[in-house]
């Protein structure tokens, strides 16, 4: 068994309900390995340190526990996944300047961001894989596994918004 650290953020169907009502029930349902954040109306976040045989098992069992208590909760994001350069540096114990230097000075292309703008955003797993494979950095296996798994959950969550009639046409255009 390995320990996986991750956070699941949810929106609640009824923002007028105080999420404190769920805290004890979540603990009793198996989320006693999570710190529960209820600071924002209509939102709840659970920061887990869960033992499991895989990242997928850890996250899926946590989601199942939560859905038993709050069936209408909608997953907003599984983290760590989407990161800016500062976030990636912090996770890795680097300075932002060091991370930027690695990004710019490497002989191999840094992963393409999923959003470019004032702040660029990457999938953490792609940055970790790049560091591990191309720059020989020691990346903790559980961190890479959880980042890859969270990316999958977040991508699948986003596909709910895709028009099924356009999906294949779009796939052909971007492939």
pLDDT of 30: 95
Same domain (yes/no): 18, 73: yes
Residue 145 in any domain: the answer is no
Q: What is the pTM of this model?
A: 0.90
Same domain (yes/no): 89, 106: yes
CATH code at position 100: 1.10.10.10
Residue 170 in any domain: the answer is no
Running along the chain, 175 residues long, what does each successive block of 10 average in pLDDT? 97 85 93 92 94 98 97 96 95 91 81 91 96 85 97 92 83 84
Q: How far is CA 43 from CA 13, 30, 155, in A?
A: 9, 20, 20
Same domain (yes/no): 27, 74: yes
pLDDT of 107: 67
Q: How far is CA 80 from CA 83, 111, 130, in A?
A: 8, 17, 16
Burial of 80 (0-12, 13-18, 19+ CB in 10 A): buried
How many helices (H) and strands (E) would you count in the chain?
Answer: 7, 6
Same domain (yes/no): 8, 67: yes
CATH code at position 155: 3.30.70.1150
Same domain (yes/no): 30, 72: yes
pLDDT of 163: 84
Same domain (yes/no): 110, 122: yes
> Backbone phi, then psi, for 34, in 5-degree steps?
-130, 145
Residue 90 in any domain: the answer is yes
Residue 131's domain comprises: 82-139
Contact 81, 147 (CB under 8 A): yes
Same domain (yes/no): 69, 87: no
């Amino acid at each position: 068994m390995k320990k996986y650290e991750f956070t699941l953020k949810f929106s609640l169907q009824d923002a007028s309900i105080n999420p404190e009502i769920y805290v004890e029930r979540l603990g009793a349902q198996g989320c006693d390995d999570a710190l529960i954040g209820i600071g924002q109306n209509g939102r709840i976040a659970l920061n887990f340190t869960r033992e499991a045989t895989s990242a997928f098992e850890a996250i899926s069992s946590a989601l199942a526990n939560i859905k038993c208590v709050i069936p209408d909760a909608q997953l907003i994001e599984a983290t760590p996944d989407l990161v800016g350069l500062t976030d990636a540096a912090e996770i890795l114990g680097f300075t932002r300047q060091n991370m930027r230097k690695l990004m710019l000075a490497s002989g191999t292309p840094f992963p393409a961001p999923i959003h470019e703008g004032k702040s660029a955003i990457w999938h953490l797993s792609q940055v970790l894989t790049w560091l591990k494979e191309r720059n020989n950095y020691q990346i903790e296996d559980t961190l890479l596994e959880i980042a890859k798994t969270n990316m999958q959950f977040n991508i699948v969550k986003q596909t709910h918004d895709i028009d099924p009639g356009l999906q294949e046409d779009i796939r052909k255009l971007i492939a």
